[in-house]
Copies of this chain bind each other. A is one copy, B any other.
Amino acid sequence: MDLDALLSGLRAHKPAALARAISTVENGRAGFEQLLAAIHRDIGRAYRIGMTGPPGAGKSTMTERLVSAYRARGLTVAVVAVDPTSPFSGGALLGDRIRMESVSLDSGVFIRSMATRGSLGGLATTTREVCDVLDAAGFDRIIVETVGVGQSELDVSRMTDTSVLLLVPESGDGIQTLKSGVMEIADVFVVNKADRPGADKLRQEIEITLGIRLGNAFRHVRAHHGVKTAPAAQPSRPTPEAWAQPVLATVAAKGDGVAEVVDAVEQHRAWLERTGELRERRRRRLAERTREVVDRALGHWVWAETRAVQAIHERLDDVESGRISPYEVAAAILDGIKQGAKI
């Protein structure tokens, strides 16, 4: 890989360079970490939006609508569609991409599906790195769309600035969903397909759980809980204010309410910037990223460059016969690694 050529192509917004940079990162090809290290100084301009929710909530349709809305506002948009549920729903994403055709011929739009398999160090890390490439390539907004299956909402909220949770009346069990910790990580709630029965009820349930109907009582408590007495040396630090997570109603297929979703995302962005929370979130993400890179590199080193695999196979007969357990073999390998480590 000619790193310099790739970098200048990327900075010149050349589609071929972008595609090559992304596939280099996605497949962990030789030089991918040098590429990511080189673009590190270029990232931070793009604003990253997470779009998550259960299967059938209309995430793709909403994403396509958001793309059009941002384009109408003169901003470029990249979409990263992640489906951790394949192979069983493997067909769905392809359909989604076809549905996104209305925006796919626009050079200010870039759409990429992420493969689940074979990514070094996990899909989440790779997705974050692909977002970095898109950021360095100059996109104004990056939408990470992922089907909501457990860990993924958490992962998305950790990789984006604003996390949008899409629900539909059929999701049912509103309160149950909300109690599972999803409440805390979504910045904007959207009840999509709001022309169907049960939409108002779901919206009310979300709002009640959020405490909006209770005058935001416990949300203020939560906000104050986080307040630190501002030291005299930092008089300009803005007073912390709580973000009141909006609960919107949309019919994405018809475009109803989509402008309000864009507005809510942009209001959240303004709030993050005003309160200094944006910087805090991004710092946390950089620390987490570093940690992930260490984990990935450590795994690669241990299993590809040391005698660890051989050590396991040398003791496998003993492990099989029960003379020694995997835990003792692992402890011996770990002891070897710890020997003289300067950290």
Contacts and interface: CB of A to CB of B under 8 A. Distances in A.
Nearest to A289: B326
A218 interface: no
Interface stretch (A4-12, A102-110, A143-151, A246-254): A143-151
A309 B291 CA distance: 8
B91 A327 contact: no
Total copies of the chain: 2
B87 A308 contact: no
Contact of A340 (B38, B309, B324, B342): B342
Dominant SS among interface residues on chain A: helix
A295 interface: yes
Interface stretch (A16-24, A219-227, A330-338): A330-338
Interface of A: 33-34, 36-38, 40-41, 44, 54, 83-91, 116-117, 148-151, 153, 171, 173, 176-177, 180-182, 279, 282-283, 286-287, 289-291, 293-295, 297-299, 301-303, 306-309, 311-313, 315-316, 319-320, 322, 324-331, 333-334, 336-343
21 contacts: A37-B326, A40-B322, A40-B324, A41-B322, A87-B181, A88-B148, A88-B150, A88-B182, A282-B320, A286-B320, A286-B326, A291-B309, A293-B327, A293-B330, A295-B302, A298-B337, A302-B343, A336-B343, A337-B341, A339-B341, A339-B343
